Each structure stands twice: as structure tokens, then as C-alpha cells.
Structure 1
Amino acid sequence: MHSAGAHGVNRRAVVELLAAALAGIGSVVAWLNASRPVVNEPVLPGEPSTMSQIYYAPMLTLSLLLATLAGVLVVLGVARLRRAPAK
């Protein structure tokens, strides 16, 4: 006999896992957009220019927050699936 609550638990776990995947994708996108290359002028005349990266702190923060959210949602979703009664 199936209880109506079991399907709700599984559905909620799946939604949590899908939200975790979206948060993970968002984290990667934010991370990739958090920096840009810049050319540094030479220190001494005749020396070559060098390249470095400039990081945008709000995008790095967003990336880390989304990664944290993804991790929490994965843990909640997996725990909910493991607690769900067997069919």
C-alpha cells in the first residue's frame, strides 16, 4: 500500500536535486565571469608587457554562495530519498 506522502517526499527530493544542479551551474557561470585578463605595462623601458587577472569580488562571492547552496540542497535531497519508504 502506497502512502500519498511517499510520492510527495520523492518529488520534493527530486526538486531539491534539480535546484542543486541549477545552483551548481550558476556557480560555475559566476566563477567563469568573475575575472578578466589585463595587460600590465612594462616596469622598465624595453621590457615586455605582462598579463594578469583582475577578479570581481561580487561574482566570486555569488559563485561561492551558489556552490554552498548546491551542496546543502544535494545533502537534503539525498537524505530525503534515503529516508523515503521503499515502494
Structure 2
Amino acid sequence: MKIRAVIELVLAVCAAAGCVVSWLAASTTVDVAPILPGEPSTTSVVHSAPLLVLSLLLATVAGVLAVLGIARLRRG
């Protein structure tokens, strides 16, 4: 049972790393055209909804696997 607990903890760390990568990749900076002629253009941050959902899903999976792995280590 200890092997399974270690595997769950390793998968939890991988899911947490994937969560961070997905979260960082979700935002991009775009140039926004000026409203009035002669004004400077501005920048805005645009977020990708699918990458944010993936990040939240991976965070949930990482949390569940971490709890299961720690519970198995404590029981065993």
C-alpha cells in the first residue's frame, strides 16, 4: 500500500505543476486600438477560459490525490 500512496503523491505533484503551467499560459497581453484618433494605443490582458478551467480541474485533482496519498501513508 505504501507504493500506491507514493504514486498518488507523485501524481498530485504533477497535477499541481500542470495547474501552474496552465494558469500561467491562460493570460495573454493584446494591444487595444485607440478610441479617438491621435490617442495612444493601450494594452489589455485577455484570459483563455478553457485553460482556466483546466487549471482549476488540475488543482482539484492534485488536492484529492494529495489527501488520498497522505491518508494512505498515515494508515499504513
1:9-68 CA distances to partner (integer Å, 9 max, x unpaired)? 111110000000000111111111112110001112222211111111111111110011
List alignment gaps of at least 5 residues for structure 1: 1-8
1: CA distance between counterparts of 2:35 and 2:64? 47
2: CA distance between counterparts of 1:32 and 1:67? 13
Hey, which bits of structure 1, 4+ residues long, moved more than 2 A? Answer: none
List alignment gaps of at least 5 residues for structure 2: none
Cα RMSD over matched residues?
A: 0.9
Q: TM-score, normalised by structure 2?
A: 0.93
Which of these two proteins has the greater Rg computed from alpha carbons? 1
